[in-house]
Amino acid sequence: MTVKNIEVSGGAGGFDAKYEDLAKMGDLTADVAGDTLKTAAAGHKFLVEPDVLASSLLNPGGVVKFEAAMAVALDGPNGLSATSAGIGLRGEALKATRIAYEMADELAAKGLDAGRWFAGLAVATNPLGAAVIGGGAIATDVYLNYDGDWEKWLVNHPGMVDNLVGMTPGMLSALGIPMDLATSLDLLAATYPDSDAKVSDSRISNPDEPKNLGDLLDGLARRNDSKAHESGQDPDPANLDVQIIRDANGKVTGYVVDVPGTKEWNAPFTTNGANDLGTNVDAMAGNNTVLQKGIEEALRRAGAQDTGAPVMLVGHSQGGIVAAQSTTDLVAHGYNVTHVLTAGSPVGRIDVPGNVQVLSLENRNDIVPRLDASENPDTPNRTTVQFDNQQNSVAGNHKIEGNYAGVAHELDNGGNPSVQRYKDGLGAFTGGSSSEMHTYRVDREGETKK
């Protein structure tokens, strides 16, 4: 399988970073204006310098010429005072330009949300027309061009997921339940009970330490392999790894936490382990989930809070959602979280502290990253890599092996500035000489998972 059409946005080379550069340039320009004005103010004292005034008795014509020249240099049309004012105006213009760009981006995002909301409202108020016109056209396309294969049609039109998710609040509002997408998620999350985490130590092993992005995703793929448990290769259904990275002297340099994706697709008002659908919904709604609590307890047991060494969270699908959602609380509780790596995860609406670097990998043909109906933020600490890898199935487009791991290996050979900046900061996790893997099982309190 070959990934192609790799495109990078955000991060050190993204628009928001350039907006910040505009702001910094505006501040620098304002400083220059201030310095120029101070120079002009200091120059005025020479107009009334006692020695200059005294010399007028000996050379009145020369003093008049000197005073005139100084006045022009200081306060003339091209003098220091006017120059200072001009520089100051340029600085304010740069700041205003930054604000205008940011407002345009924000309005565009809100406009897209609003457009989908009204589309949902229209569908709900005229469901028959929508079914006949929209549904009929889609069904015709499916049967004429995709041999009746709805899954193949969906993965070739993944943008429909963004639209449907974004339309849902408008459809509900038409039924008399006013809400936006955030409120919809909150209500859905309320149908899935959460609980405290019960963390059990499973085993300790010594795998090879990761050396690059590809190794990190390969390691996550091994943790994500549910077939290993079914075949007996992994007799304990553990669902969390904390890899402790050490240098040649045995000193801990970093911790890598592998968080797998959804394992159980349970109905509302039920629970089925820490990696169930309820954890997905809770995390996307911004709640502290049982799996997030398990991550914090696992890191505590592994000694991450005591050493203060950098922590990296690596997650696929649900694991990426929980990883991103965990950052704020983990940082607040004293953990040195510096990096997050997500694969196939809808994390666009999740807030992450500005000092945590996030790299999000998204297959354009994968419908899962679209479940939040939002683009990822284009900020200096949020880098998104999108690529094409069409396998004509939901599972094929979403899996790690040869897909998300494949693009990670490609990025190890690339030189994009934003990705390179992210990789440059991974030394604590990819520069070690040995590693020790602590594997944990996370259950819900009061629930025993077989």
For 268-327, what is each residue's pLDDT tens digit?
Answer: 888 888 888 888 888 888 888 999 999 999 999 999 999 999 999 999 999 999 999 999
Spatial CA neighbour of 213 closest among 429, 401, 72, 412:
412
- Which two tokens mark 429? 């996790």
For 137-164, what is each residue's pLDDT tens digit?
Answer: 666 766 677 777 878 877 887 877 776 6
Task: Taking the CA atoms of 104, 105, 108 and 109 in sequence, report the sign of the dihedral they define.
Answer: negative
pLDDT-based confidence at 266, cuts 50/70/90?
confident
Domains delineated in the chain? 4-14+191-444 (3.40.50)
For 190-220, what is each residue's pLDDT tens digit?
Answer: 888 888 888 988 888 898 999 999 999 999 9
- Measured CA distances, 112 to 92, 162, 283 (Å): 30, 11, 23
Instruction: Flag whether pLDDT at 429 surpasses 80.
Output: yes
- Which two tokens mark 434? 């040995």
Are 336 and 311 in contact by the 8 Å Cβ rule? The answer is yes
Instruction: Flag whether pLDDT at 37 surpasses 70.
Output: no
- Which two tokens mark 50? 């006692």
- Which two tokens mark 163? 């639209």
What integer pLDDT is reported at residue 163 of this predicted model? 67
Distance CA 368, CA 272 (A): 21
Are 344 and 391 in contact by the 8 Å Cβ rule? The answer is no
What is the distance, to the nearest Å, from the Cα of residue 447 to the centroid of all Cα atoms in its chain?
A: 33
Spatial CA neighbour of 357 closest among 336, 335, 338:
338
- Which two tokens mark 24? 């910094």
- Where in 213-281 does DSSP place strands (E)? 240-246, 252-259
Mean pLDDT of 254-280: 87
Most confident of 229-243, 249-263, 275-289: 249-263
How many residues are given for the chain? 450
**H or E element that contains 120:** helix 80-125
DSSP class of residue 450 equals -
Distance CA 143, CA 137 (A): 10
- Measured CA distances, 426 to 73, 308, 421 (Å): 54, 16, 9
Q: At what angle do helices 213-224 and 405-412 cross, to 10 degrees?
A: 170
Spatial CA neighbour of 297 closest among 326, 318, 268, 265:
326
Distance CA 63, CA 43 (A): 16
Give the position of tokens 């419908």.
367
Q: What residue type is 419 in one-letter code?
A: V
Task: Taking the CA atoms of 77, 78, 83 and 87 in sequence, report the sign of the dihedral they define.
Answer: positive
pLDDT-based confidence at 234, cuts 50/70/90?
low
Distance CA 273, CA 264 (A): 8
Q: What residue type is 376 in one-letter code?
A: N
Q: Is 405 helix (H, G, I), strand (E, B) or coil?
A: helix
- pTM of the complete model beyond 0.85: no
Average pLDDT, the chain: 79
Spatial CA neighbour of 254 closest among 313, 316, 331, 321:
313
pLDDT-based confidence at 450, cuts 50/70/90?
very low
What integer pLDDT is reported at residue 222 of this predicted model? 87
Distance CA 78, CA 368 (A): 60
